[in-house]
Amino acid sequence: MNRLTSEQLIAGLQDLPSLPAVVMELLSSIDQENADISVLARKVSYDQALTAKTLRLANSPAFGAQVKVATIQQAITFLGFQATRNLITAAALSGAFASGRCRGFDDRAFWRHSIATAACARALARRIRFNQDFAFTAGLLHDIGRLVLVTAQPDAYAEVLAWRARHGCEWREAEAAVLGLDHVDAGVALAAHWQFSDTMRQAIAWHHAPHTPGAGSLAAIVHVADAIVHALDLSGESDDVVPRLSGAAWDAMGLSEEAYLHLFRETETQFSEMAAILLA
């Protein structure tokens, strides 16, 4: 067994890749509405690769820009500041972590699941009149702790993969059995280290336990979106396991069976559009 202490986990965060400064700024200020749009556009434009991927997303059918978007400033004008923030964050995060560090870990499947959960959470939030942009980012980040563990402890996480294969269980159970902590612990630690907003920290912390007092609506949205995406098998993993679903969170969405069927189709379509760009 490779039991990790909280101190070892925190120390391992120092070895994680550095995100562009503008992305770190966006993640820490997601609750703020009064950002200077021109400053954001200028900062992002300095990173040509990030700008190119962001603009491809902005022009995809998933985000519905009515005109061709050629600059970050135009993306903000036509899609809104919060939506553009989401695109920049998705473009940066999906390419930030090196792949192939942990034998047996499917990096591409991880990002397929994260992108699909972001798309589903966004669509779900719109139906219940919750902030779609918060939901998108929380869906994208909900399992980021798995990448923390894979990056910081690749050999130990290979044992997690083997343990899960033997027992056919959920990721958190295998992680706790082998490491003594799980990807939620790692995600919360990363959220503090990267100074995520309190909104994102809370969603990451409680997306597996949305019934916890004070967990908040965003955790419930991500929880339901996560389960839907697992059920739709969008990650492409052959041994995907649908996590235990909170009936209270599902009921709190207040959607009919027909509404859920529309949600499933929308999730699949938007996921395909975004994955084609982010994982190219």
**What's the gap between Cα 24 and its chain centre?**
15
Q: How confident is the model at residue 1 (pLDDT cuts 50, 70, 90)?
A: low
DSSP string, 196-219: --HHHHHHHHHTT-TTSTT--HHH
- Region 54-78: mean pLDDT is 87
Name residues whose C-beta falls within 8 Å of residue 226's C-beta, 6 or more positions apart in sequence: 117, 139, 142, 143, 207, 243
Distance between CA atoms of residues 157 and 167, nearest Å: 15
Q: Which residue has the tokens 């990807």?
A: 183
Residue 196 has a pLDDT of: 86
Residue pLDDT, tens place only, 201-220:
999 999 999 999 989 999 99
Q: pLDDT exceeding 90 applies to what percent of the chain?
A: 55
Contact in structure between 181 and 4 (CB atoms under 8 Å): yes
Distance between CA atoms of residues 136 and 138, nearest Å: 6
Instruction: Name the residue with higher pLDDT: 26 or 144.
Output: 144
Name residues whose C-beta falls within 8 Å of residue 198's C-beta, 6 or more positions apart in sequence: 31
Angle between helix 48-58 and 72-79 (nearest 10):
30
Residue pLDDT, tens place only, 107-125:
999 999 999 999 999 999 9
Q: How many Cα atoms are found within 13 Å in the side-chain-facing hemisphere of 194?
A: 31
- Region 39-52: mean pLDDT is 86
Distance between CA atoms of residues 51 and 45, nearest Å: 6
Residue 2 has a pLDDT of: 64
Show the tokens assigned to 41.
């556009």
1-16+99-280: what CATH class?
mainly alpha
Contact in structure between 92 and 23 (CB atoms under 8 Å): yes
List, by residue range, all CATH 1.10.3210.10 domains of the chain. 1-16+99-280
Q: How confident is the model at residue 43 (pLDDT cuts 50, 70, 90)?
A: confident
Q: pLDDT exceeding 70 applies to what percent of the chain?
A: 98
Residue 24 has a pLDDT of: 83
Q: How many Cα atoms are found within 13 Å in the side-chain-facing hemisphere of 132?
A: 16
Quick count: other Cβ atoms within 10 Å of Cβ 108? 13
